[in-house]
Structures are given as C-alpha cells and as structure tokens.
Structure 1
Amino acid sequence: MATLIIGAGCFGASTAKFLKETDPNTDVILLDQAPFPDPAAAAHDFNKIIRAEYDDPMYMKLALEAKEAWSQADPVVTPFFHRTGALWSITAARTKTLVDNYEALLGPGMAPLKILSLDETRVRFPLLESCRFEGGAEQCILSPEAGWADAAGALQAVIKAAVNRGVRYEVGTAAKLEFDSDGTCTGVSTTDGRSFPARRIVLSSGAYTPWLLAESAPENPDLHAGDRMKAAAVLMCLFKVPRGDTGLDMFKDAPVLVHPYGDFPAECIPPGSVGGPDLAKCTHEFPYTRNAYNKASKQEISVPPLSKSGRMTWTRDLPDALKANSANVRDMFFGNSVQGMTPESYRLCWDIATPDEDWIISPHPASENLYIAAGGSFHGYKFLPVIGKYVVQMLNGELSEEHARRWAWDRDFIPIVTPYTPRGDLRDVPGYYE
C-alpha cells in the first residue's frame, strides 16, 4: 500500500519528492484540495524571503543547507531564487547572537553580515530615508547572500518534479482520517465520498490540521492538537509602485526589508517578480486566529474558512481596518521617500503556529501509521528544497536525536513571544465577515 501525504504545501510537496528520490519503487499519493499548486496554500505566494539569519543555531544550520539549494545545489528551485540581500533592523545583542551562530558554523570572521547604524542605513538606501525604525531597533544588518523566491513557481516545480518521478497527485478535500478497530490510521476519506487507504499517512495539512484531527476522532482527545498548534493568518498587501525617481527607481538594488519591532512589525519584498515587476509585497507581522466551535469534539479551534474563500488568495475584499494596517506598514517603511504606492491586492496567508515555533515532524503517538509534518510557524517556506529529507528521516526512524526531540508531538512546549505569535482574532476585527 501507498504512503499518503495529505496537503501539497511546502512540507507535503517536499516530502513527496524526497520519498521518490529515496525509494523510487515506493508508491506515493499526494492529496490536496486543488490542482497544484493550490492557491490557498501558505506556500503558494507571490514571493517568500530566503535567508539564514536565525537566533537558533539548529535552524541556522538547516537554513544554510536550504540556501545552498536555492542558490546553486538544486536545479529544481534555483531558477526561482533572487539574491537581492536582506536588511534587518535589529538590536546590538541580537546582532552578536547571529554573528556568533554564523562563526560557530562557518568559522571565525565568516559571518556574512554587514552592520550599519540607522543613519548609515538611511544614507545607503534612500528609500528608507524617512523610515521610522520604531520600537527598539538600534542598528541594521545587511545579509548580502539572502533574497527572495518566486514562491508559487518553486512550489509548482517541486510538485512537478515529484510527479515526474511517479508520485500520484490526487485532487480532493480531506474530510476525516480513517481508523480500524485498534485505532490504527488506515487512510482518509474525502468530502466527495472517496477513500484513500494507505500504510503510512503523513498529515501535512497546514492550518487545517487541528480541525481535521478533531473531526476525525472527536471522542479521542489524545489524537487532537490541543495547545500544540494553532491556525493563524498574517496580512499581505501588494503595492503598485509607479515609475519614476520617487517610485520604482528608489527600489533599484533594494534588499528585502525586515523590521520586527513596534506597532507594525513588518517585511517588504521589493518589486521584481515576473508576475508583477512593479509590485512590492508588504506583510504585517501580526497573526490573527479565527476561532470556531467544533461541534463534533465540543471545543473551540482556530481554523481558516472551511469553504474555499477568496480571502485565502489575493483579493480586495477585506475590512478597512485590515487595509489600514497595510497602509501603516508602507508608511512606516517608506514615509515620504517613496511616493504613489497604491494597494493592488490583499491576502490573508494562513499557517499553523506552534507555541515555541519549532515544527512538528513526528509520529503521532495516539495512532499507528499516522505522522505529522506541520507547524511551519511562518518560517517554513525557505526550507522547501530540504525539509522533505527530514520528514523522510522521521518516517524511517532516522532523525537525529536533536531533531526528533525538538520536533516531537509530545514535547515540553516552552512558549516564546515573537512578531509571529498569534495575538488577535479576525472575528474581533471591525467589518470582518464571511
């Protein structure tokens, strides 16, 4: 019987590809609710940041491996990577942490970072001349090797590579996991009445994971996600930048921008995408939950809209209160330095967040044959070229001790607070409706 992967986002697509590369004779089914790549998936995006700057040495090491793949090692994804550099506003203490991590991995003096004062940053990058750098930033670091990827294009290429190797891609919305009398997971049923039996079921269903687990076995709380993960969405906006010396010309040689402080922690990826060479993407790093009552399990669970909603793809149909947040991000970064940036489209990008922002790549202890590969916590996409390798290691019982411990389903979750910690609910946003 096959290995069934539910969800063709970053985790699921990469896992399918690596399974076939590891064992060409294995039967792999990749199930998703839409033809690939699914425009509602978090990994299906206009673009995503690719970088290795992590306070956590484990993730920095993984990110360096992934960045090597993006840069040159993996011909499936390298056409989609754009090395523009990335600029962070940061504290001196965090700068030291990043430099120390780099030097521990690469050697003394090998940290690929340039440190700039806030004033030096404004001079070097005139588009930030009026940037407010609010909320505690002390300086900036420039990472010349970082950049961004054409997210949807790379995801599609990874899935296509998996399909070309023999992965069977099926379109269907998972309704419930199926179990035998012993509680062993045997497959999944879809909303259109089909059943997909499998010997291994990998749940890579992203933001829908907690809801699907509760719907599948409402009477078995041991199977449920509980406080391990929570669906949340961040607001993105594509701003159209007019031509001219106060518009697109200001973005010439501009890096990716990250400002994780103040009332509007944010990111901005400069224009340059094939799909929109004059579109800058700004993200408000403020995740919203959408709490809903699950009748079957009698509990409240954060979940994206269960019907296919335009708000999971690019749209203009969002409350004015959310649109105002995007405008505030634009104004915080660019003030009067860049003029005429007008909103083209918005998107609520859904992911699944864990309290410690570590992923869950683990057998599910409450059911044989069921495995979880989720919990991207808004930093998973950059690992698209490599994350499947570690999921396959988990399936084969070959994860390192550190990875197995850090990504376990039943671990000691020590919550941390970052800009991507969920802290608002969409139902409380004035004007939000479904």
Structure 2
Amino acid sequence: MSSQPSYLIIGAGVFGVSTAYHLIKKYPEASVHLVDRTQYPCQLAASWDWNKVVRADYGDLFYMEKALEAIQLWREDPLFKPFYYQSGIIKINNSDLGRDTLENYKKLGVKVNAKIVSPDRFKEEYGSFFEHTDFSNAKDVFVNEDSGWAEAAKALTAYTDAAINSGVEYTAKEIDVLTFGTDGACTGVLTKDGTNITADRIVLATGAGTAKLLADSAPSRKDLQVNGRLVAGAVITGIVNLDPKNGQQYTKIPVTVHGVPPTRGEVMPLTAPLSEKEPYTVKFCRDEAYKNTVKHEASGQEFSSPPSEPNQAQRRPNEGLKKRLDLVKDGILGEPGKEVKFDEYRVCWDAVTPTQDFIITPQPHCQGLYLATGGSFHGWKFMPTIGRYVVAMLDGTLDPSLAKRWGWDRENNGGGAHSHLLPNIEMRDL
C-alpha cells in the first residue's frame, strides 16, 4: 500500500488536469482522482475552447518567463506539439505594451523574432487581409512571429487521456458540496447523486465556480469564503463559418489582437477543414470581461457566478454581448466585415484575481483543502507546466516567492498581468 497521500482534484480544466498528470508522474503509486461535471473535456470549463493563444508577450516579466517555459513544451513535447501552430501574433496598440514586451525579452536575454512597426508600415508589409482594418487611434503594431495558438479542446483531451493512461481515475459527476470532519478539516465531496468521494487532500481547480462551491459548502465559515480574492468573469466569443473561397485566407493570418477601443478584441485562424464539404471556421473574441453578481442567501454574500440556467446559458448571449462582439469583427475586417455574420456564440467563464496572479495555495483555515485556480483569462497556455507548481505546493516545496505571489492572502498593488480583462461590467447592464 502506498504511503503517499490520496488526492481528489475537483475540476478537469487546465489546472486540474495538469495537477493530476504531474502528481501521477511523480507518485505513480498514489491515488489521484479527477472529478468534473461531465465526461471530459467539460464544455463549461474555460479550458474548453476551439483555440487559445499561446504567447509569452507580457509586459509582466514574471509571467513572460513562465510562459517561455511552457511554450518550449508546446513546441517540442510530443504530447503538446501536434496541437500547436506558430502562426505569429500581431497586436494593434495605443499604449507602450509592445515596447515593454520587447524590453522584457531583452532583460531575459531571449532572442525573439519580434518588432514594432507603424500602422502604415504594417499594412504595406502584411498584405490585403488588413486593408480595411481600423487603425485610427493606433499608436503602433507589435509583431512577434514566434507566438501562435493551440487547438484547445483537442490538447486538453489528449492531456487528460495521458493522465488517465498513467493511472489517474476520472469520474464524471456534478459536485454538490465539500464535506468536512468534526475538526473542520475537508474530507472530500458529496456529489449531486449522493455519492461521497473522499481523499487526504482535496484540490479545488474549480475556476469560476469556486466562490459558489465554498459558499454552498460552508456558508457560516467566513474564513473559507473567496471574499473578493477572485471574481467569476465572462468573455464573449463567436465562430464564423466561411466557404473555401473566403475562408482560405484566414488559415494564413497571424493571431490578431486589436487593443484599441472600440474594437478591443481578437481573431484567430483555425486549421483548414478536413474535407471540402466542411466550412472554414474562424473565432472572434471580445477582450472585455463581464460579471454576474448574485446574492447567496445562505451565507449572505454577494459575488459573481455563472448563470444557474442549463449549461450556464453559454450558447445564448444577450443582444448586448453580441453587439460587443460585432465591434471586434467590424473593427478588424472593416466594411467587408459587416456582411459577415456569426454562426455560433459562446460565453466563456473564468476566475479572475485582482492582480491576475493565480491562486495556488493551501486554504489556510481548512486542513486538507487546497486551491489551484485563478487563470484570469491568461492561464491556459501554462497547461504543460502549471501542475508542477501545484504539486510543489502540495508537497510544501514551492519556492517562497511563488507561494507569496500565488497565496490565499497577498498584496493587491493595483497592477496586473492581464488587467484589461478585469470583470467590471455587469452582464445584465448590457
């Protein structure tokens, strides 16, 4: 029998799957149990998507360094490499973010195929796709040919398969509440169908559902509550299906991020269809986050939480959200974009912290309970590596500087690694 503690990980997104994978690789004899609401990959998770940006282009030096570590695996590891595409990325800016990013690469001594050009020079160099793009109020364009994107759902599925094939147990059940012993320690979970699942260490990788789960589980224990440490935030994304004549050009474009209002969003290329009968599908995303503040009666709290409707109403955004996404499409495609209509929408929820730092920590007021969450709309790219840090936290060997940065209680200095996606707008007000 293994002397290693048993582990129960709630949530099979990036944080949960990466933790399970790294745990079972380090401790092959350990009991590692991964639970999520549906068979994997759960489409309600932020980690499920058509695609995600993979880049190290941060104005924050710390996350640039961590992203470079992850990108090396996206490029080289056989587990991740099949899903990664180095398309390049361009960012249309009205700030100094591009210059700050280049300066950070220099500080780290990293050679990168990146530059900053004027909007006019950019249009000359990068062809007809951007002919109608709105460059008004743009200061410059940051270009990095070393960045790219990954097929999100496919990569997450392969990673989960690898964890299960290595010995992780997966269960598809919806969690009702956490369970506690008489001493207040967390002992496991109770599922909606009445199943008790126990372990020595319970890891919450529950993203946007974290605040509600803690409030439902222990409404009278104020020291267990999120209390602003993270906020459930949502972004609106949409898919456009194009015929081969109009769609082929999108397979060759870089990830395009337009950071200037009113556009504020991005378009990402998708791989060409598998057959001539299938459309070319292109994803747009609005770079603006929204919240859904609700009153939790049992605990007396107010916090943001995904809608309680079936499937969180993620495929049925309100008209205000649709109009916000139209701004992205029309700003990047220009006048021709007004003829392009969205075929599918998705509201994507994530857990956002005030500084966009992750939460990777023991819950200081509850023995046996740990958290690995707070992706803050930039955590997905760290999928290959983030679990190593969670395992170090569980082992008590996480570097003290990281433990402080990713702790339950930490300073909020007003900055952030991804501050433009703080959820400050109520969804109902759109």
Residue 364 of structure 2: SS of its match in structure 1?
coil
Q: 100, 105, 124: which one pairs with 1:102?
A: 105
CA–CA distance in structure 2, aligned partners of residues 427 and 38 of structure 1: 26
Matches within 5 A, 1:24-423: 24-72=28-76, 74-91=77-94, 93-107=96-110, 110-123=111-124, 124-134=126-136, 136-244=137-245, 247-251=246-250, 253-272=252-271, 278-309=280-311, 311-312=313-314, 315=315, 317-336=316-335, 340-416=339-415, 418-423=419-424
CA–CA distance in structure 2, aligned partners of residues 293 and 36 of structure 1: 30
User: Structure 2 vs 1, CA of residues 99 and 252 (structure 1 numbering), >3 Å: closer, same or farther?
Assistant: same
Partner of 2:15: 11
Q: CA deviation at 1:274?
A: 5.1
Question: Normalising by the residue count of structure 1, what TM-score does the alignment of the two structures yield?
Answer: 0.92
Equivalent residues of 1:271, 1:277 under 8 A apart: no
Equivalent residues of 1:3, 1:198 under 8 A apart: yes
CA–CA distance in structure 1, aligned partners of residues 118 and 130 of structure 2: 13
What are the superposed Cα offsets for residues 240-291 of structure 1, whole Å, 9 maximum, x if unpaired? 23443xx335435210011223133101102326587611111011111111
Equivalent residues of 1:239, 1:345 under 8 A apart: yes
CA–CA distance in structure 1, aligned partners of residues 420 and 96 of structure 2: 17
CA–CA distance in structure 2, aligned partners of residues 13 and 2 of structure 1: 16
Letter in 2 for 1:326: L
Question: Normalising by the residue count of structure 2, what TM-score does the alignment of the two structures yield?
Answer: 0.93
Q: CA deviation at 1:198?
A: 0.8
Q: CA deviation at 1:367?
A: 0.4
Paired positions, count:
420
Equivalent residues of 1:129, 1:337 under 8 A apart: no
Q: How much is the aligned-residue C-alpha RMSD, in angstroms?
A: 1.8
Equivalent residues of 2:83, 2:151 under 8 A apart: yes
Equivalent residues of 1:269, 1:282 under 8 A apart: yes
Letter in 1 for 2:292: R
Equivalent residues of 2:264, 2:288 under 8 A apart: yes
Residue 403 of structure 1: SS of its match in structure 2?
helix
CA–CA distance in structure 2, aligned partners of residues 398 and 197 of structure 1: 24
Equivalent residues of 2:94, 2:259 under 8 A apart: no
Over the matched positions of the two proteins, sequence identity in percent amounts to 37
Structure 1: where are the runs of 5+ without partners?
430-434
Equivalent residues of 1:127, 1:338 under 8 A apart: no
Partner of 1:432: none
Equivalent residues of 2:112, 2:146 under 8 A apart: no
CA–CA distance in structure 2, aligned partners of residues 421 and 402 of structure 1: 24
Q: CA deviation at 1:199?
A: 0.4
Q: CA deviation at 1:307?
A: 4.7
CA–CA distance in structure 2, aligned partners of residues 204 and 396 of structure 1: 17
